[in-house]
Chain A
Amino acid sequence: RHEAKYLSGISHFLEKLAFSSTAQFGSKDEILLTLEKHGGICDCQASRDTIMYAVSADAKGLDTVVNLLADVVLQPRLSDEEIEMTRTAIRFELEDLNMRPDPEPLLTEMIHAAAYRDNTVGLNRFCPVENTDKIDREVLHSYLRNYYTPDRMVLAGVGIDHEQLVECAKKHLLGAEPVWGSRQTKDVDRSVAQYTGGIVKVEKDMSDVSLGPTPIPELTHIMIGLESCSFLEEDFIPFAVLNMMMGGGGSFSAGGPGKGMFTRLYLNVLNRHHWMYNATSYHHSYEDTGLLCIHASADPKQVREMVEIITREFILMAGAVGEVELERAKTQLKSMLMMNLESRPVIFEDVGRQVLATNTRKLPHELCALIGQVKSTDIKRVVTKMLHKKPAVAALGDLTDLPTYEHIQAALSSK
């Protein structure tokens, strides 16, 4: 989200280049071998607002791991060879994104571009293909100089003694000089994400997307979203509950306890309209904004009906919320929260993100308590606020029967 004044795709490059050669480690292989001695693995993940360098290893290897992380983040060599390999890897990933039958990542890009036109989280998360040749070490350093600064970093650990981690951090990070020099940072982008609403359409022939011998039916995908709120606001929890209540998924989905087969998108949409292939609700949230959206897919000839059904579901969100369904959604959210936090990598991502944004961390039981307090009036209140915003629409596939943006906007503001 900070790439407005840079070439889009820098974070994508950084993600792929992570854990390559550094000042201390001659190559990626060296890093992996070092980690192997401690039974460890490493990974880097970039998202729209953060980038995470993660290492999981035996607790005895803490010192090595922190040293490694410090080196990887602050002293990457970014050799020409590695950058060239990264270019190839990114081009391959972009090709794959366009080819795969599951349009999820593409739609997510599109809905963000529609909702936050030309700014912050609406910018490309994936490097645009025309930029792959333009990004080099110079470009990367110019970005790193401004954004890989101590005030923008959090070192988080799980399953480690806090004091020990602090010791290692002092040893390897305190006073460490990054390879791009430590000139005064200037022009750090603190843009506030501006929700604009809008529509992004990609006409695409989806008649033959199957990569194997079994044909996949031709589908047109739409995603309709509205601005919700940031994860720092109190209304975030009601939105999370609402998202759970809408739920949904693919129509060819095996159910099971806690799967969510009683969520609204299953009960009201997929169970009643058997021609709908997919209806799923998503909630993306950032430090200054959020986006609640519903993805739906169906045969191109039924796009009009599909849009009508989804807009109706949005409007119904502002209506009566049954007690049973509300409690079910709250319980589901709490269980999902607790189940996810059983995984250590998820815990340290949670710690890192929360501390980055708020300098503190809300513990799981605190969150569960807040979830428990959500009432149907809260849901109604946040939905009414949400329905005031202009919609964001992403459409992919055969779009001949797609209603106009104005039509969708009118449908969402009718009572």
Chain B
Amino acid sequence: MAEPGADGGGGGFLSSGSERRCRARLAAAGGARGAAAAAVLVPLCSVRGRPALLFTLRSRRLGGPHSGDVSFPGGRRDPADGDAVATALRETREELGLALGAPRVWGQLRLLPDRQGQMVAPIVANLGPLEDLTLTPNPDEVEEVFTLPLAHLLREENQGYTHFRTAGRYGYTLPVFLNGPHRVWGLTAIITELTLELLAPDRYRRKTHVLGRGPSARPPEGSSA
């Protein structure tokens, strides 16, 4: 899908060339595959021609530790799901009323632990132009849907980080994305970061860091990610 230059030189993230590169990189990554307890969809799309990421604001009615948080569509794996991709697509259908075809999926980023220590598989997919889609968000699960242009996320002034302590000493650092309709933090921010690295490897500086492991490590299980 050819893209007009979205931010003066930053465009083309959703072009066919970029897609090929990303698919190849995701396939080659291999690494931590295996059974994940849950999966989320990382929805790339274009809004008025500009590449963006789609986020949801989870409904408060769900209760629980993720109530009201900014998130990607996704959830627990169902026994009927063939794989993580199936989980992500099913959840997207249930939460947003969007039936996404498997060919839209570019691949899977590495498995990440959520706050409860469950492994989550982030599935990257391209929804295409948002204007061409009809989303019917399920109000029981999704309060709001919003997008953030990749150009916005790649600008340094919209990026931040937070150092966290574990058991009284410095433990880890998580990224946070600012100045949008809602703040993106926690696991969703980590996944966003991985996606930005995938799409624009020279243009994004990773913030996630875990003490005692190299900068390429992920936060420990049970962290407040």
Instruction: Identify the A interface with B (CB < 8 A).
Output: 4-5, 8, 117-120, 123, 128, 189-194, 196, 387-390, 406, 409-410, 413
Pairwise interchain contact B67-A194, C-beta atoms closer than 8 A: no
Find chain A residues with CB under 8 A from B163 CB: 4-5, 119-120, 189, 191
Do B176 and A118 have beta carbons less than 8 Å apart? no
Nearest B-chain residue to A192, judged by Cβ: B160
Complex Cα distance, B207 from A189, in Å, reads 12
Judge whether B170 and A194 touch: CB under 8 Å.
Answer: no
Contact residues of B between 155 and 179, Cβ < 8 Å to A = 160-166, 168, 170-171, 173-174, 176, 178
Partner of A192, one of B57, B63, B161: B161
Our pick among B67, B160, B170, B178 for the contact of A4 (Cβ within 8 Å) is: B170
Which A residues lie within 8 Å of B162 (CB)?
A: 119-120, 191-194
- Which residues in B have their C-beta under 8 angstroms from that of A192? 160-162, 176, 178
On chain B, the residues within 8 Å of A388 by CB distance are 57, 60, 68, 143
Are B67's CB and A409's CB within 8 A? yes
* Residues of B contacting A410 in the complex (Cβ-Cβ under 8 angstroms): 63
Contact A389/B68 with A189-B163, A409-B63 known, Cβ cut-off 8 Å: yes
- Residue B118 at the chain A interface, CB threshold 8 Å: no
Q: A390 CA to B60 CA in the complex, in Å?
A: 9
- Check if A190 sits within 8 Å of B160, measured CB to CB: yes
- Decide if B203 is an interface residue (CB 8 Å cutoff): no
Asked if B104 lies at the interface with its beta carbon under 8 angstroms from chain A, I say: no
Interface size, B (range): 20 to 34
Q: Distance in Å from the Cβ of B141 to the closest Cβ of chain A?
A: 14
- What are 27 A-B contacts with C-beta separation under 8 Å? A4-B164, A4-B165, A5-B170, A8-B168, A118-B165, A119-B162, A119-B163, A119-B164, A190-B160, A190-B161, A191-B160, A191-B161, A191-B163, A192-B161, A193-B162, A194-B162, A194-B164, A194-B174, A196-B224, A388-B60, A388-B68, A388-B143, A389-B68, A390-B65, A409-B63, A410-B63, A413-B60
A194 and B63 within 8 A (CB): no
Residues of A within 8 A of B20 (CB): none
Besides the known contacts A191-B160, A387-B60, A406-B63, 4 further A-B residue pairs in the complex with CB atoms under 8 A apart: A4-B164, A119-B165, A120-B163, A413-B60
Q: Which of A8, A389, A413 has the most CB of B within 10 A?
A: A413
In contact, A413 and B160 (Cβ under 8 angstroms): no
> Across the two chains, which residue of chain A brings its CB closest to B163?
A4
Question: Which of the residues B168, B171, B185 comes within 8 Å of A194, measured between beta carbons?
Answer: B185
A202 to chain B, nearest CB (A): 17
Please name all residues of chain A whose beta carbon is closer than 8 Å to the beta carbon of B165 when the two chains form the complex: 4, 118-119, 123
Within 8 A of A (CB), among B56-110: 57, 60-61, 63-65, 67-68
In the complex, the chain A residue whose C-beta lies closest to that of B69 is A390
**Complex-state Cα separation, A189 to B161, whole angstroms:** 9
B7 to chain A, nearest CB (A): 23
Contacts of B161 in A (CB 8 A): 190-192
User: Which residues of B are interface residues toward A (Cβ below 8 A)?
Assistant: 57, 60-61, 63-65, 67-68, 143, 160-166, 168, 170-171, 173-174, 176, 178, 185, 224
| C-alpha gap A413/B66 in the complex (Å) | 13
Q: A residues within 8 A CB of B67?
A: 390, 409, 413
List chain A residues, Cβ under 8 A from B168. 8, 128
Contacts of A190 in B (CB 8 A): 160-161
A16 and B166 CA atoms in complex are apart in Å by 27
Q: Is the CB of B164 within 8 A of A413?
A: no
Let me know if A118 and B60 touch, CB within 8 A. no
Task: State A8–B65 Cα separation when bound (angstroms).
Answer: 27
| Given contact pairs A189-B163, A192-B176, A194-B185, A117 touches B63 in the complex (Cβ within 8 A) | no
List, in ascending order, chain B residues with CB within 8 A of A118's CB. Answer: 164-166, 171, 224
In the bound complex, CA of A194 to CA of B162 (Å):
7
Give Cα distance in the complex from A128 to B173, angstroms. Answer: 23
State the Cβ distance, B62 to closest chain A Cβ, in Å: 9
Q: A389: nearest residue on chain B (CB-CB)?
A: B68
Residue of B nearest to A120 (CB): B162
Q: Which residue of B lies closest to A387 (CB)?
A: B60
Find chain A residues with CB under 8 A from B160 CB: 190-192
What's the Cα separation between A409 and B68 when bound, in Å?
11
Please give, as numbers and ranges, the residues of chain A lying within 8 Å of B143 by CB-CB distance.
388
Bound state CA distance, A415 and B143, in angstroms?
15
- Residue of A at shortest CB range from B59? A413
Contacts of A406 in B (CB 8 A): 63-64
Q: Find the residue from A5, A118, A119, A410 having the highest chain B CB count within 10 A.
A: A118
A194 surroundings in chain B (CB, below 8 A): 162, 164, 174, 176, 185
Shortest A386–chain B CB gap in Å is 11
Give the distance in Å from the alpha carbon of A388 to the alpha carbon of B143 in the complex.
10
Residues from chain A with a CB closer than 8 A to the CB of B174 are 194
A-B interface, 8 closest residue pairs, ranked by CB to CB distance from nearest: A4-B163, A192-B160, A413-B60, A118-B165, A191-B162, A5-B170, A194-B162, A118-B164
- Shortest beta-carbon distance from B105 to chain A in Å: 31
Contact between chains at A390 and B176 (CB < 8 Å): no
CA A128 to CA B165, docked complex, whole Å: 14
Instruction: Tell me the bound Cα distance from A192 to B183 in angstroms.
Output: 11
- List chain B residues, Cβ under 8 A from A413: 60-61, 63, 67-68
Shortest beta-carbon distance, A380 to chain B, in Å? Answer: 17
How far in angstroms is the closest Cβ of chain A from B202? 23
Chain B residues near A120 (CB, 8 Å)? 162-163
Question: Which residues of chain A are within 8 angstroms of B176 by Cβ–Cβ distance?
Answer: 192, 194
B161: nearest residue on chain A (CB-CB)?
A: A191
Q: What's the least CB distance linking A345 to chain B, in Å?
A: 33
Assess whether B178 is in contact with A117, with CB atoms less than 8 Å apart. Answer: no
Bound together, the chains give a CA A189 to CA B170 distance in angstroms of 12
**In the bound complex, what is the Cα–Cα distance between A189 and B165 (angstroms)?**
13
User: What CA separation (Å) do A194 and B176 show in the bound complex?
Assistant: 9
